[in-house]
């Protein structure tokens, strides 16, 4: 994937968590393409093999996930928790996720929105990642002593459906309008052929991005929802507003 002309090599990694093999690509794949083109290392942690899905076997979905991650320029790993459609909120799970955060040492973490939606695993994983981000910085966690503590800069949630977008959080809009970014994102979504053959998820997500882009007068945008208000060093770090006054 061709990097942007002003790309940097000193960016802290981005760590993205998905409950299922296609969640990251459908929910925020355009953001991943944008960041890898800027030379930010991106790592996926996928927390089930999608074995409860009506379409596609776990083996198919694993191969699709590997292809999609490669298309986006990301590395990835599998983490077996309770299995697809069986995820439970457990401290032991949060500790496992915190260990990954300590090992990868990301600046930014992406996780599914906490809002309940069509699949119970999404919101539950979001809660677990939120807890894990806190545990990763606690020096007294005996279960994690083998790894140095780590504090992330931002936890941002992505929404897989309009219904899972938080209504009480002002989103950060990422401009993903560049043709190369849209192409990479589209290809990564299409790599999950077992899922897109059942429903046109690609057009669904692109339509959502076009609608979000209309809010800001751009072609495509993806909304991310901060767990905490972003803190800026100066007003110079503010980008343009979505509203045209």
pLDDT in tens, 100-146: 999 999 999 999 999 987 789 999 999 999 999 999 999 999 999 99
Question: What proportion of the chain, given as a percentage, has pLDDT over 90?
Answer: 83
Eight-state DSSP code of residue 47: -
State pTM to two decimals: 0.93
Strand order through the sheet with 172-175? 75-78, 42-46, 14-18, 108-112, 154-158, 221-226, 172-175
User: For residue 84, what pLDDT is reported?
Assistant: 87
Between 47 and 3, where is the model more confident? 47
Which residue in 168, 157, 179 sits closest to 33, CA to CA?
179
Query: Does 161 have pLDDT greater than 80?
Result: yes
User: For residue 5, what pLDDT is reported?
Assistant: 43
User: For residue 54, what pLDDT is reported?
Assistant: 76
pLDDT band for position 2 (cuts 50, 70, 90): very low
Cα–Cα dist 19/11, whole Å: 26
Per-residue model confidence as pLDDT tens digits over 196-226: 988 899 999 999 999 999 989 999 999 999 9
Between 153 and 245, where is the model more confident? 153
Q: Is 224 helix (H, G, I), strand (E, B) or coil?
A: strand
What tokens appear for 55 in the block? 């379409």
Among the residue ranges 2-16, 67-81, 149-163, 188-202, the one predicted with the least confidence is 2-16
User: For residue 43, what pLDDT is reported?
Assistant: 98
HEC per residue, 6-37:
CCCCCCCCEEEEECCCCHHHHHHHHHHHHHHH
What tokens appear for 23 in the block? 């969640």
- Residue 83: left if φ>0, alpha if ψ -120 to 50, beta else—which one? left
Query: Does 6 have pLDDT greater than 70?
Result: no
Cα–Cα dist 37/8, whole Å: 9
Domains in the chain, please, with CATH? Answer: 14-227 (3.40.50.10320)
Cα–Cα dist 44/129, whole Å: 13
Query: Does 7 have pLDDT greater than 70?
Result: no
Mean pLDDT of 34-52: 95
HEC per residue, 86-130:
CCCCCHHHHHHHHHHHHHHCCCEEEEECCCCCCCHHHHHHHHHHH
CA within 13 Å, CB half, 152: 32
- Residue 67: left if φ>0, alpha if ψ -120 to 50, beta else—which one? alpha
Per-residue model confidence as pLDDT tens digits over 57-103: 999 999 999 999 999 999 999 999 999 889 999 999 999 999 999 99
What tokens appear for 229 in the block? 């208000």
């Amino acid at each position: 994937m061709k990097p942007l002309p002003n790309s940097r090599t000193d960016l802290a990694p981005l760590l993205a968590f998905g409950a299922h093999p296609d969640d990251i690509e459908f929910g925020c794949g355009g953001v991943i393409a944008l960041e890898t083109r800027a030379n930010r290392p991106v790592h996926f942690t996928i927390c089930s093999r999608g074995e409860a899905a009506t379409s596609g076997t776990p083996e198919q979905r694993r191969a699709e996930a590997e292809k999609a991650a490669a298309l986006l320029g990301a590395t990835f790993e599998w983490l077996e928790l309770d299995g697809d459609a069986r995820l439970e909120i457990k401290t032991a799970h949060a500790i496992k996720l915190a260990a990954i955060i300590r090992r990868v040492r990301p600046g930014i973490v992406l996780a599914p929105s906490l809002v309940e939606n069509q699949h119970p695993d999404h919101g539950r994983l979001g809660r677990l990642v939120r807890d894990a981000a806190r545990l990763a910085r606690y020096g007294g966690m005996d279960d994690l002593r083998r790894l140095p503590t780590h504090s992330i800069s931002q936890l941002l949630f992505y929404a897989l459906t309009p219904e899972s977008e938080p209504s009480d959080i002002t989103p950060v809009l990422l401009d993903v309008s560049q043709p190369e970014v849209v192409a990479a994102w589209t290809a990564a979504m299409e790599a999950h052929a077992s899922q897109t053959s059942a429903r046109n998820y690609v057009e669904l997500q692109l339509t959502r991005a076009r609608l979000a882009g209309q809010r800001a007068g751009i072609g495509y945008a993806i909304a991310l929802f901060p767990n905490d208000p972003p803190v800026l060093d100066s007003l110079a770090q503010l980008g343009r507003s979505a509203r045209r006054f």
